[in-house]
Structure formats: structure tokens, C-alpha cells
Amino acid sequence: MLDFVLYMFFSGLETFAMFFLAFSLFKIDIYPKEMIFAGFIMAFFSYVIRVNYEWVELDIIIQYALMFCFFWLLFRIHLFYSAILTGMTYQAYTFIQIVFISLFKNIGIFSTHNFFGVDINAYIMQVLSAASAILIGCYIGRRRKGFDFIPDKPNGLIKVTKREILLFILNLPTAAILISIKHLFNSTYFLTVPLIYGFLLFCYIYLSYTKDRSGNEYTKL
């Protein structure tokens, strides 16, 4: 029972941090109650799949799909942009996580067993990752940085340009790269994961910056 409570808390905290980072980065209003609700729903599914059935790969796919659905149906973000927002959120947050995972691995306090998220090392990593994401989100908000091209209305016509297509394409490898983290953890190729994420994030930020300066391409119905 204690493992369940701890898992729900720390996993929910991570999900809250991911939503907070995403909304701060794209200048979307923060909805704390809804973010907490979504976090606990996702944490429950994660506990059942990851801990009870020990199926990490399926959990990653389900979590990705749930976050997309929450962006779209709960936070009422346009379907197309919900897909883009989900991919960028996961890539940004996972990049933060990989930094701490690599650090913990080098000092010998993180192993593949920790990917199941039911021990103190995993909890510490989750707290540090979530705190970092929230602090980055606060910094972005206070400095008035970020992008504002994502409409906060679910209904509307969007003009699909080359930038939108490229942003969408950048989402496609997200789940596969997430799954590869566990399988490459003890491999010499593990260092390629943060490099790939860093490259994808750079592309995301560059395309978002150029699109943000291109004007409003959203027409309300």
C-alpha cells in the first residue's frame, strides 16, 4: 500500500511538472486542479502497467497517448497542436531526466531496476527532474519568454505550413527513443540518447521561434 501511495505521489508530481513546463513554454494559462487530476489519472495507469505487470514499454506508449488526450480534451487545445505539444513536452522533460539518470549512473546509484519507479533512487530522480522542470517553467514565465503561436481553443482552422509539418514529424520518434532509454542503459550507445534529444529540442525551439515570428495562422470558426 505504501509503495502505491508513494508511486502515485511522485509520478503525479512528474506529470504536473510536465504540464507546467509545457504551459509555461507556450504561454498557456495554468490550471492547477486539472493538472493534478490528470497527473493522478496517468499515475494510476502507470502503476498498474509498469509496477503490477512490469511492462515499461507499454506504459510509455499509454502515458504518451493519455497526455495527448488531456491536452486535447481536458485543456481544450487544438487537436493538431496537442500532438506537437505532447511530443515537445516529453522530449524536453526526458532530456532533463536523462541528465539526472546519467549522473546517478556514473556514481552507481541507478540501475535498470529503478525504471520501475518503486525505490528511493527513482523517487529522488523524479523529485529532482520535476523540480527542475517547474523551476525552468517559472523562469520562462517570469522572464516572459516562450512561444504563443499555439491557440488555446479546440475549434478552428489552421494553415498547415512546412513548419507545422516539420514540428509534427519531430514527434514521431519520441516514444521509440523513450523506450530505447531502458534498453540502452547498460550499453555504450546510451550517450547517444541525450544527443538525439538535444538535437530534436534544438529543432523544436528553432522551428517554434520562426513560426512565432511568422504571424497568426489560426482562424476561429
Any idea what DSSP says for residue 218? Answer: E
Any idea what DSSP says for residue 47? Answer: I
Could you tell me if 194 and 181 are in contact, meaning their C-beta atoms sit under 8 angstroms apart? no
Instruction: Establish how many alpha carbons lie within 13 A of residue 171's alpha carbon, considering only the half-sphere containing its beta carbon.
Output: 19
157 backbone dihedrals φ, ψ, rounded to 5°? -100, 135
Q: Closest by alpha carbon to 13, among 114, 96, 100, 131?
A: 131
pTM exceeding the 0.75 threshold for the entire prediction: yes
| Strand, helix or coil for residue 157 | strand
User: pLDDT tens-digit profile of 16-65?
Assistant: 999 999 999 988 999 999 999 999 999 999 999 998 988 988 999 999 99
Tell me the mean pLDDT in the region 184-211. Answer: 81
Per-residue confidence (pLDDT) for residue 58, from 0 to 100? 92
C-alpha–C-alpha distance, residues 140 and 197, integer Å? 20
